[in-house]
Amino acid sequence: MLRCDTWTGTLVPKAGMGFLRKKFAAAAVAGKILVAGGCARSSAVEEYDPDENVWRVVSEAPRRRYGCIGASVDGVFYVIGGLKIGSSGSDGLACGSRAAGAEAAHVYASSMDLYDAASRGWLRSRAVPGGGCVVAACAAAGDVYILSSHAVELSFWKFNALRKSDNFGEWCRIKSPPLPAQVRLDSTVRFSCVGVGEKVVLVQVVGCIDDLLRRSGRPERGLKEGLVLVYDCAGGEWTRGADMPEVIRRAACVCVEC
């Protein structure tokens, strides 16, 4: 692991995680870094203490996921979406048949596990209403925002993550991102999103629309990767941001206050 000092631009090597992971969930919670998923050998949840430069296993995740997304609100680490790895056994799902495997993948892709960092315990897992596959997620303004794909359309959801709120745990479907008409959803189009204050920034990180047009037999040029859309959490409206000047394929987004 490397620590980047955003003021000086320097990189400092730090202790590595105890388990090799790929496409895992990560989030900063109460001054620590929590990671989960992305490991075929273990369901361990690890916590990094930046003051001690030490990783510790703090829990075992209820689901062993791959390709999941992490977010943090109000002391809770959210492990969202992804695919099932092997047979964790904790949720009663088996991969003994193709049908069972497809069912497990669907359940994992639309579910969310909640880890309370203070009590070292797991809260009740939640599922995105209507199912679908989580393709992007982030925390902003005290809520968790989730973009879900339903094969031919996208839905956008807000999960009330303020634990002292009377509405904690409630879902609300909100306005979907206004994708240009040229953008046709398939496995080549992917997104990343990040909360910036009271806004959610959605970035298209994979999927050249030119390629989609060519595959459909249309020679004209369309939109490339780098589409940026901004959702105002307070106003409930989307706006189009400037496209990324340079495409970093499969990029992840992060927000730093300065």
**pLDDT tens-digit readout, 143-192:** 999 999 887 788 999 999 999 999 999 999 999 998 776 555 555 667 88
Q: Which residues contact 21 (CB under 8 A, 6 or more apart)?
A: 35, 37, 38, 39
pLDDT digits (tens, 9 = 90+) for 202-253: 988 776 555 545 555 555 455 566 789 999 999 999 999 988 877 666 667 7
Residue 258 has pLDDT above 60, yes or no: no
| Coil/strand/helix, residue 99 | helix
Residue spans per domain, the chain: 2-127
Q: How far apart are CA 149 and CA 147, in angstroms?
A: 7
| Size of the chain, expressed as the number of residues it contains | 258
Burial class (CB in 10 A: 0-12, 13-18, 19+), 247: middle
Percentage with pLDDT > 90 across the chain: 61
Provide the residue type at 168 as one letter.
Answer: F
**Bridge partner list, 193:** 202
Architecture of domain 2-127: 6 Propeller (2.120)
Question: Taking all residues of the chain, what is their mean pLDDT, rounded to a whole number?
Answer: 84
Look-up of token digits 């692991």: 1
- Say what the pLDDT of residue 93 is: 32
Q: How far apart are CA 62 and CA 121, in angstroms?
A: 11
pTM, 2 dp: 0.85
pLDDT band at residue 141 using 50, 70 and 90 as cut-offs? very high
Question: Residues 22-33: what's their mean pLDDT?
Answer: 95
pLDDT digits (tens, 9 = 90+) for 37-58: 999 999 999 999 999 999 999 9
